[in-house]
């Protein structure tokens, strides 16, 4: 896997993970930079200070993958937001040449890039974060967002071109409980939709570190309700 022309800023690398691709032992690449500014994001360094972080050479990652080749043949590309980088395709192309299965984590803001990667067989699994009801996206993301692009990504993924999951991180005071169920109704029929617990650590907006996550009992209640809604497989309604 050659590094010439590589433009993706790799700011983190985990050699072995049991949690980033369910059911698989995988390695994880973290790209720097993001086009969103979600106040509750716990990867604030990758979003706000990635230029200050040292780049991890691609040759180092390649050598480590070769060393663990007998145990690891799955890799996750996450961030930040990987699809903002022009060199993403070439990075994945190099990983595929090493016979790696690739999972992409994305916020769904670049549907055309997603479609190209899927059409060319560059990725094997996609995980898309849905931040909240689409009509409130600027609030969830901290910036203005092209909602049509988010919708295109959701629809494309749900058409079943690739194995997938959707995820929503729920934050007390930012999300009302109704917001969570509105998203679930919109995603009704999705193959996988996970409600993720908010972690008040190293958040992009420091004030969010004072927010208590939902209690375990409340989180279970919400997840149970969401699971019932998703299983209904009704036609999606506008958010």
For the record, the structure tokens of 216 come out as: 């375990």
Q: What is the distance between the alpha carbons of residues 191 and 10, in angstroms, rounded to a whole number?
A: 30
Stretches where the chain sits below pLDDT 50 are 1-5, 235-238
Q: Residue ranges of the domains in the chain?
A: 10-231
What's the CATH number of domain 10-231, 3.20.20.70, 2.60.120.590, 3.40.190.10, 3.40.720.10? 3.20.20.70
pLDDT of residue 2: 44
Which residue reads 């190293």 in tokens?
Answer: 202
List Cα–Cα distances, 172 to 29, 164, 223, 225, in angstroms: 30, 27, 14, 17
Q: According to DSSP H, which parts of 26-103 are helical?
A: 44-48, 58-67, 88-97
Q: What are the residues whose beta carbons fall under 8 Å from the beta carbon of 47, sequence distance 6 or more?
A: 33, 34, 36, 37, 41, 80, 204
- Residues 9, 77: contact at Cβ < 8 Å? no
What is the structure's pLDDT at 235? 46
- Phi and psi (nearest 5°) for 78? -135, -170
CA-based nearest residue to 28, from 80, 90, 70 = 80
Residue 177, token pair as written in the block: 């409980």
C-alpha angle 183/189/191, rounded to 5°?
100
- Please say whether the beta carbons of 25 and 74 come within 8 A: yes
pTM over 0.85: yes
Q: What is the pLDDT of residue 232?
A: 82
Quick: pLDDT tens for 58-115.
Answer: 999 988 988 888 889 999 999 999 999 999 999 999 999 989 999 999 999 999 999 9
Using CA atoms, how far apart are residues 98 and 42, in angstroms rounded to an integer? 31
* First vs last C-alpha separation in the chain: 43
């Amino acid at each position: 896997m050659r590094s010439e022309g590589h433009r993706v800023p790799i700011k983190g690398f985990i050699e072995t993970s049991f949690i980033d691709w369910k059911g698989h032992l995988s390695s994880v690449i973290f790209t720097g930079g993001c086009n969103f500014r979600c106040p509750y994001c716990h990867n604030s360094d990758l979003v706000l200070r990635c230029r200050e972080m040292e780049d991890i050479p691609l040759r180092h990652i390649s050598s480590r993958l070769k060393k663990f080749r007998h145990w690891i043949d799955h890799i996750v590309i996450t961030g930040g937001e990987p699809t903002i980088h022009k060199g993403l395709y070439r990075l994945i192309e190099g990983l595929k040449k090493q016979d790696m299965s690739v999972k992409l984590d994305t916020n769904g803001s670049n549907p055309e890039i997603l479609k190209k990667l899927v059409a060319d067989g560059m990725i094997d699994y996609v995980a898309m974060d849905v931040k909240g009801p689409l009509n409130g996206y600027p609030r969830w993301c901290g910036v203005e967002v092209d909602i049509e692009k988010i919708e295109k990504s959701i629809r494309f993924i749900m058409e079943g071109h690739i194995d997938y999951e959707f995820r929503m991180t729920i934050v007390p005071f930012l999300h009302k409980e109704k917001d969570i169920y509105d998203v679930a109704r919109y995603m009704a029929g999705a193959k996988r939709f996970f409600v993720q617990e908010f972690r008040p650590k190293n958040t992009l907006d420091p004030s969010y570190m004072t927010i208590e996550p939902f209690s375990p009992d409340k989180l279970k209640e919400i997840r149970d309700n969401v699971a019932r809604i998703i299983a209904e497989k009704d036609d999606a309604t506008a958010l």
